[in-house]
Amino acid sequence: MNESNQPIALSESNQDTKNISVIALESASADAIGSAIRSLGFSENRFASIDEFFNATELVSPSCIVLCAGNHSAAALDFQTKISSQCACGASTIVIADVEIRDAVKLMEKGALTVLSSQFDASEVGEYLKIAVEKDRESEGVRKRLQELESYRNSLSDRQLKILNMVEQGHSNRQIANWFDLSQRTIELERARLMSAFQSASLAQLVSKWTELRVLSKKWHQTDQQSDQADGQVLDA
C-alpha cells in the first residue's frame, strides 16, 4: 500500500464519465456490483486487491469506491482508515462485507457511506451508487472553487498576504500603514491590487472570498496534519 502517507493523487481524465472503482477481494460480489454499475450507465475500474488500487499509477478519479471484502473485516477496516486519510479524491466508499455490527459501525465512523452484506439487494446498491455520485458532484464543485481561490492567493506577494490578513482582522489603512511603516496611500494601492487579484468589486467581497478560502481549505483536507498545513498557508502567510 501507499507507505508514504502522502495523499493519493488521482488523474482527472474522462471527467464526464462517472467511474466506480471496485476492489474485488471477493469476486462474486464484485461481479454483481459490476452489473449494477453498468445498469446505471457508469463505468467500472476493477482491482484485484487493495494493494493494486493504492499502487495504481494512472487511476481515473473515481466517483465512488466499492470494496468487496467478503469476510475480511480487518482488511476492510484498514482500507477505510487509509482511504479516509490518504486519498485526495474524496470519493465515497461502499463496503460489501459480512462483518459484525460493531465492525460495520466502525467502518461508517471511519467514513464509509454504507456497509452492506454480500447478500445485498441490487436496487439498494444502485441507490447508494447514485448517492455516492451526487456527493462526488458536490465535492467536485467544492474542489474547483477551492482551486480558484487558491489561484488568487498564489498570485499575491508575502506583503500582500500579510496586509490581507490584517484587513480581515479589521485593521484600518492607518493602522496597517503604521505597522509596515508605509504611507496610507501605499496601503490603499495594495488594497486595490488585492481586490483585483481576488476579482472583488468591494472590500467586503474581498474579505468574504479570503474567509471562504480558509473555511474551504479546512473542510477539504481530512487529516489533522493536512488541515494544519492548509490553515498555515492562509493564516501564516
Q: How many residues does the chain have?
A: 237
Q: Measured between alpha carbons, how far is 145 from 154 in angstroms, rounded to an integer?
A: 14
pLDDT of 232 > 50? The answer is no
Q: What is the DSSP letter of 14?
A: S
Q: How far is CA 177 from the centre of its chain?
A: 38
pLDDT of residue 61: 67
pLDDT in tens, 27-54: 899 999 999 999 999 999 999 999 999 8
- The C-alpha atoms of residue 33 and residue 20 are separated, in whole angstroms, by 10
What is the overall mean pLDDT for the chain?
82
Cell of 129: 451508487
**Is residue 151's pLDDT more than 60?**
yes
The per-residue pLDDT for 217 is 81
Least confident interval from 104-118, 147-161, 212-226:
212-226
pTM of the model: 0.64
For the chain, where do the domains classified as CATH 1.10.10.10 start and end?
155-235
Q: For position 54, what pLDDT does the model report?
A: 86
Edge to edge, what strands does the sheet with 92-97 contain? 43-47, 19-24, 64-70, 92-97, 114-116
pLDDT of residue 150: 93
Is the separation of the CB atoms in 146 and 217 below 8 Å?
A: yes
Looking at per-residue pLDDT, the higher value among 42 and 235 belongs to 42
Q: What letter does residue 8 receive in the DSSP assignment?
A: B
Report the 10 Å Cβ neighbour count for 123. 8
Q: Where does the pLDDT of residue 234 fall: very low under 50, low under 70, confident under 90, or very high at 90 and above? A: very low
Q: What is the mean pLDDT of residues 109-137?
A: 90
Q: Where do the CATH 3.40.50.2300 domains begin and end in the chain?
A: 19-139
Check whether domain 19-139 has CATH 3.40.50.2300, yes or no: yes
Name the residue type at position 39. Answer: S
13 — pLDDT class (breaks 50, 70, 90): very low
How would you class 28 by CB atoms within 10 Å of its CB: exposed for 0-12, middle for 13-18, buried for 19 or more? exposed
Of 2.40.10.10, 1.10.1050.10, 1.10.10.10, 3.50.50.60, the CATH number of 155-235 is 1.10.10.10
pLDDT score of 216: 83
Of 119 and 63, the one with more pLDDT:
119
Number of Cβ within a 10 Å radius of residue 156 = 18
Burial status of residue 102 (CB atoms within 10 A of its CB: 0-12, 13-18, 19 or more): exposed
Residue 187's contacts (CB-CB under 8 Å, 6 or more residues apart) are 163, 173, 176, 177, 180
